[in-house]
Structure 1
Amino acid sequence: MHTLPLLRDRTKLAIVDAHHHLWDLAAGHYPWLQDEYQGAAFFLGEYQTLRRNYLAPEYLRDTSGYNVIASVHVEAERSRSEQVDETHWLHEVRHSTGLPSVVVPHVSFIQADRDDILASHARYPEVRGIRSKPVTARSPQESVRGQAGTMQDPRWLEGLSALERYGFSWDLRVPFWHLAEAAEVAATFPRIRIAINHTGLPWDRSDEGLSQWRTGLAALAAHPNVFIKLSEFGLAGGRWDEQSNRRVIRDAVAIFGTERAMFASNLPVSSISASFGVIVETVLGALADYDDLAIGRVFSQNAMAFYRIDARGW
């Protein structure tokens, strides 16, 4: 069982936030934030509150009262013509503010200049991996299997394989009905470390939906190169279901173990549904039966190892 002092005093719990975003709308072009508003088409629903600058001061404000010792910035859907510009900007932000600690930029695995973009990212010292989203189906009832840009596309797989050349990890972001396919990819590339984003996006909280989600996670967990981020539990319309969220967290940790699960906030996107404090308390509540060593792994140590973070500067 856990020892109460650590869990009572949240200020002493070291946190590595394994997934968040920053953006300056004057410094770059973010189509989803600056172009035509998509409204309810966004996976969490209305996101008007996100269409503003979100910089280091805002992140520090939102995480105040908690001991965040390091963070991982994951690409924020900046214009795909500005992929390296985002990496450059983030290194400037890190130099002036101390965060983010490391960076996970974007490159499409099928873009014509993929190798040049990868090489350019690799010149920046804090780049640790790549997030590149495959083409996915809109629902579990549809299939895009084998189409261009999917996880079966030979050119897409060739692009993924290029990460190994740089020692980059891959941030995997697909809805739960594609997790089993992602496990096939993980089996093909055992030397590429993979981080499942947003707990595998278990949007369907019915027994049938969660069963399919757990099956997909179990297939991925069979491969030791795969880790999972405990993040983004919000549901459509900005709904936060505390009881269901705790169940999802417990199930994910039971499948992957505390050695391959990482806490992450997904700020500021997660603020549509919950504050940083609510997210932390929800994860801690779900892990109440785990001891302090396990909680320390989930909240900091696993992310530091996966993303090769030196938190001494924080």
Structure 2
Amino acid sequence: MKVDSHQHFWKYHPVKDAWINDEMAVIKNDFMPEDLEPLLEQSGIDGCVAVQADQSEAETHFLLDLLEKHDFIKAVVGWIDLRAKNLDERLEYFSQFKALKGFRHIVQAEPEVDFLLRDDFCSGIAKLADYGYTYDVLIYPKHIRNAVSFVKRFPDQPFVVDHIAKPFIKAQVIDEWAKDMQGFKGLDHVTCKISGLITEADWVNWKYDDFKKYIDVTLDIFGTDRVMFGTDWPVCLVGASYAEVCEILRRNTLQLSAEENKKLWGQNCIDFYKI
């Protein structure tokens, strides 16, 4: 089974979705399951993981409600306030929803570059493993070193780095990102989503080979057992169609065997999120 490990749904609201600026006008619309389903079918993708885009428990319920109505949505990565004093109560409450596999916080938007190392945040992360939850790490390159220290604190917690930590693909800058990402090498509890690449590229003039060296570095660090395909739809639409995003990965991983491709395009995601 091929599974898109990372995509979003939303009903666009200019305040809630203020991160969508005028340059991203193409995604200032509603994006719902009925919009995605034909795209999955056209690209031969069997299912997807719906990931939070808004930091509220209402968002988590919104995604779980969509999953109940659409079989192709296989899992949800929601949001919960990991710094809340009543976190145990909230985790216990959400444990009734078996399709809720983990949580994410939009760390890239936090002003503190060391946000992941905050005591109150780490106290929350420490509770996730008891409930079998995963955690998606959403960061920029400036956060990578702290992220490595962060995941090392929790060797029993499954983590996945979203969007290969958003390297500067448009500028074709790679050295510092590649060096810092090496910190994840050998950390078997940390996986990486090869997703969101087009958002960091030149939206108008990108070429398929712009992504090759970044994908190669990611595969070298994480290996084919710890990587997942993801599109980041509909955010990807700022620069490419769903099919083009799939083709970017396909063209840049032609060296992989059939078994390695099976892992990349679905099996690793299925195993990680226990789908």
Relative distance call for 1:50 and 1:279 in structure 2 (3 A) is same
Q: Which runs of 5+ in 2 are unaligned?
A: none
Moved more, 196-205 or 122-131: 196-205
Give secondary structure in 2 for the equivalent of 1:179: helix
Give, in angstroms, the shift of residue 16 of structure 1. 0.6
Q: Deviations over 1:130-186 (max 9, x none)?
A: 102336677xxxxx455xxx1221111101111112111110000012112111111
> 1:104 aligns to what SS in structure 2?
strand
Distance in 1, matches of 2:110 and 2:66, equals 36
- Does residue 302 (structure 1) correspond to residue 275 (structure 2)? The answer is no
For the 8 Å contact 2:203–2:238, the answer to whether it is kept is yes
Structure 1 segment 44-193 matched on structure 2, within 5 A: 46-77=23-54, 80=56, 83=57, 85-134=58-107, 144=112, 150-193=115-158
Residue 233 of structure 2 is matched in structure 1 by: 267
Judged with a 3 Å threshold, the aligned counterparts in structure 2 of structure 1 residues 153 and 252 are, in CA distance, closer, same or farther, namely: same
SS in 2 for 1:302: helix
Which position in structure 2 is the counterpart of 1:200? 165
- Asked if 2 retains the 8 angstrom alpha-carbon contact of 1:21 and 1:73, the reply is yes
**SS in structure 1 of the partner of residue 228 of structure 2:** strand
Going from structure 1 to structure 2, the CA distance change for 1:256 and 1:38 (only over 3 Å counts) comes to: closer
Partner of 1:223: 187
The answer to whether the Cα contact below 8 Å between 1:231 and 1:265 also exists between their aligned partners in 2 is yes
- How far apart, in 2, do the equivalents of 1:284 and 1:171 lie? 24
> Helix, strand or coil: the match of 1:280?
helix
Shift of 1:280: 1.2
Q: Is the 8 A contact 2:4 2:231 kept in 1?
A: yes
CA distance in 2, matches of 1:127, 1:93: 12
SS of aligned partner of 1:67: coil
Q: Structure 1 38/171 Cα, relative in aligned 2: closer, same or farther at 3 Å?
A: closer
Answer yes or no: is 1:253 the counterpart of 2:230.
no
CA distance in 1, matches of 2:215, 2:157: 25
Secondary structure (helix, strand or coil) at the match of 1:259 reads coil
Aligned to 1:287: 253
2:194–2:227 contact (8 Å) kept in structure 1: yes
Paired with 1:173 and 1:254, the residues of 2 have a C-alpha distance of 20
Q: Is the 8 A contact 2:195 2:230 kept in 1?
A: yes
1:39 alignment partner AA: N
300-309 or 95-104, larger mean C-alpha shift: 95-104
C-alpha change, 1:123 and 1:31, in structure 2 (3 Å) is: farther
Tell me, which stretches of 5 or more residues in structure 1 are unaligned?
Answer: 1-13, 41-45, 139-143, 310-314
1:21 aligned partner: 8
Please list the CA deviations of residues 42-78 of structure 1 after superposition, one character each: whole Å capped at 9, or x if unmatched: xxxx122222211111011333322222211110215
Identity of aligned residues (%): 20
SS in 2 for 1:217: helix
In structure 2, how many angstroms separate the alpha carbons of the residues matched to 1:37 and 1:254? 32
Change (3 A) 1:87 1:286: same
Could you tell me the TM-score, scaled by structure 2's length? 0.90
Q: 1:230 to 1:145 in 2, by over 3 A?
A: closer
User: Secondary structure, in 3 states, of the residue corresponding to 1:64?
Assistant: helix
Q: CA deviation at 1:37?
A: 7.2
CA distance in 2, matches of 1:109, 1:241: 39
Shift of 1:112: 4.2
Q: Distance in 2 between matches of 1:127 and 1:259?
A: 23
Q: Equivalents in 2 of 1:47, 1:202: separation in Å?
A: 19
Whether 2:244 is the aligned partner of 1:278: answer: yes
SS at match of 1:162: helix
Change (3 A) 1:259 1:59: same
Question: What is the number of residues matched between the two proteins?
Answer: 273
Supply the AA of the counterpart residue of 1:213. Answer: W
Considering only CA atoms, is the larger Rg found in Structure 1 or Structure 2?
1
Q: Secondary structure at the match of 2:136?
A: strand
One-letter amino acid of the counterpart of residue 187, structure 2:
H
1:187 Cα deviation from its structure 2 partner? 1.0
Comparing 298-307 with 150-159, which one deviates more in the overlay?
150-159
TM-score normalised to structure 1 length: 0.79
Q: C-alpha distance in 2, partners of 1:160/1:30?
A: 31
Backbone CA RMSD of aligned residues: 2.3
